[in-house]
Amino acid sequence: MALMTAEQYIESLRKLGTRVYMFGEKIDNWVDHPIIRPSINCLAMTYELAQQEEYKDLMTATSNLTGHTVNRFTHLHQGPDDLIKKVKMQRLLGQKTASCFQRCVGMDAFNAVYSTSFEIDEKYGTSYHENFKNFLIEMQEADYTVDGAMTDPKGDRSKAPHQQEDADLFVHVVEQREDGIVVCGAKAHQTGAVNSHWHLIMPTQSMGENDKDWALSFACPSDAEGVYMIYGRQSCDTRKMEEGSIDVGNKKFGGQEALVVFDHVFIPSKYVFMNGEYEFANMLVERFAGYHRQSYGGCKVGVGDVLIGAAALAAEYNGAEKASHIKDKLIEMTHLNETLYCCGIACSAEGWKTKAGNYQIDLLLANVCKQNVTRFPYEIARLAEDIAGGLMVTMPAESDFDSETVVGRNGETIGQICDKFFAANPAIPTENRQRVMRFIENMCLGSSAVGYRTESLHGAGSPQAQRIMIQRQGNIQGKKQLAKDITGIED
């Protein structure tokens, strides 16, 4: 099958029997639901740009498995050039959507499972790697979106999976069959889960021998029997259900998360890529986390580009664009944003070849990248809010600006009063100021904050998770030896 168009992708979702619940009720037509549809539009952009000649070098690649042209989101990185193009592609998509386009987790999972399954087979003589290659070819040829699922609910964080009072708090095997396995559990905070055709499951942490039943990697379709999803709420999400286009901020695009539940789901053997090899759980976690932390040096930068532009527009519309402190704030926002991009490019350029043949990023630099992402977008957002001013969160509703209710002594309507008192730069229509204020509010505080501000902190692991990896990868002993060599200290 050729690369799907955006329209074909959306229609393909209609053919799935995915079970989605929101606000306590089953959503039958979730594809057209006003809260969900912006996230579908966002993901559809990964298909739309792949069809455009000017972006094909970034958006597509040649599969090492088939020799066919595939969407880069289904590609196995073959060198530093692929890793760098990945970051540039993510920045481009962030610029086009100002939100989370949701397909990165699957791409990062593909590359982590590919190399890890190879090394499991190398030790145990299993057939996981061949299983995975066949699965990935299936995904590439159909141009499917796959949700890379790592995060378990975890329960009591002080206890390992086998110690939890409820075994389902980590995805685990409940039955081993000759033709496959049966699993129970859930994956939480799953980006793009509802909008995906398939799910690629991975363990969420390192595990011991007693955790064998939880050391799992497998794939299953979104509408497999026993799989259902509970949609995650976002700030200001019900604004998408209102009439009008201003108050929602970003009417067309948005992100999504969901709780994905596995209630005695049968997984055929051909879709199993790890089953009890607990000592490889940490390898898979670290490799996926590294790829995904690299991703943030692209996607968050692209969204940051849009936020910087919106802040500059707000300054212009407020009549303050020439103030020196405004210029300085925009410079600082740009400096922070480009520093994140530098980190994404650096860990890509320093990538190394795995035993399986695909390329892994530099883990230390990827974790430095994500550690910066936990901080810099918050400062970029703070500066954007500073430039925009308080009107960003105190402005009357769009319906007030449209109101024809007469309130003024001279017959002025509520709409006319709002238009009069919220005008600033006389060369700019008040509506333009409305739009950019709501847009900044949405990016910094509303539903798009899920794909920028809040996700920058918790996505791809908490800040502490990166600090642990920086400690492991930082080679303090080697640095101590450098100091000893120069100072003449001998042990």
Domain with CATH 2.40.110.10 in the chain: 7-281
* Per-residue pLDDT tens digits for 150-178: 999 999 999 999 999 999 999 999 999 99
Active site residues: 100, 104, 191, 257, 292, 296, 299, 455
Q: Two tokens at 195?
A: 């909008």
Per-residue model confidence (pLDDT) at position 285:
97
Return the closest-CA partner of residue 100 out of 182, 16, 41, 34. 41
Q: What is the CATH number of domain 7-281?
A: 2.40.110.10
Per-residue pLDDT for 241 more than 70? Answer: yes
Per-residue model confidence (pLDDT) at position 24:
97
Neighbours of 431 (CB within 10 A): 13
Residues 247-270 as b or e (16 or more Cβ within 10 Å = b): bbbbbebbbbbbbbbbeebebeeb
Per-residue pLDDT for 1 more than 80? Answer: no
Per-residue model confidence (pLDDT) at position 418:
97
* Per-residue pLDDT tens digits for 76-116: 999 999 999 999 999 999 999 999 999 999 999 999 999 99
Residues 187, 191, 196, 200: is their CA dihedral positive or negative? negative
Q: Span 432-456, mean pLDDT?
A: 89
Q: Two tokens at 123?
A: 């030790």
Coil, strand, or helix at residue 226? coil
Q: Span 204-220, mean pLDDT?
A: 97
Q: Span 26-52, mean pLDDT?
A: 97
Per-residue model confidence (pLDDT) at position 383:
98
* Per-residue pLDDT tens digits for 54-68: 999 999 999 999 999
Domain with CATH 1.20.140.10 in the chain: 285-480
Return the closest-CA partner of residue 364 out of 350, 378, 354, 353. 350
Return the closest-CA partner of residue 372 out of 470, 441, 235, 260. 470
Contacts of residue 178, Cβ cutoff 8 Å, sequence gap at least 6: none
Q: Domain 285-480 maps to which CATH number in 1.20.140.10, 1.10.510.10, 1.20.1250.20, 3.50.50.100?
A: 1.20.140.10
Per-residue pLDDT for 39 more than 90? Answer: yes
* Per-residue pLDDT tens digits for 367-415: 999 999 999 999 999 999 999 999 999 999 999 999 999 999 999 999 9
* Per-residue pLDDT tens digits for 265-294: 999 999 999 999 999 999 999 999 999 999
Coil, strand, or helix at residue 192? coil
Residues 68, 74, 76, 82: is their CA dihedral positive or negative? positive
* Per-residue pLDDT tens digits for 251-260: 999 999 999 9
Specify the pTM. Answer: 0.97
Per-residue pLDDT for 193 more than 80? Answer: yes
Q: Span 455-467, mean pLDDT?
A: 90
Burial (Cβ within 10 Å: 0-12, 13-18, ≥19) of residue 482: exposed
Contacts of residue 119, Cβ cutoff 8 Å, sequence gap at least 6: 280, 283, 355, 356
The band of 38, judged by pLDDT with boundaries at 50, 70 and 90, is: very high
Rounded-to-integer distance, Cα 296 and Cα 302, Å? 10
End-to-end, the C-alpha distance of the chain in Å comes to: 64
* Per-residue pLDDT tens digits for 325-348: 999 999 999 999 999 999 999 999
* Per-residue pLDDT tens digits for 127-136: 999 999 999 9
Kind and range of the H or E run holding 23: none
- N residues, the chain: 491
Contacts of residue 93, Cβ cutoff 8 Å, sequence gap at least 6: 45, 46, 49, 101, 299, 302
Maximum Cα–Cα distance across the chain: 91
Per-residue pLDDT for 301 more than 90? Answer: yes
Return the closest-CA partner of residue 341 out of 302, 377, 308. 302
The distance from CA 417 to its chain's CA centroid, rounded to whole angstroms, is 42
Yes or no: say if 410 and 351 are a contact pair by the CB < 8 Å rule.
Answer: no
Per-residue pLDDT for 450 more than 90? Answer: no
Coil, strand, or helix at residue 178? coil
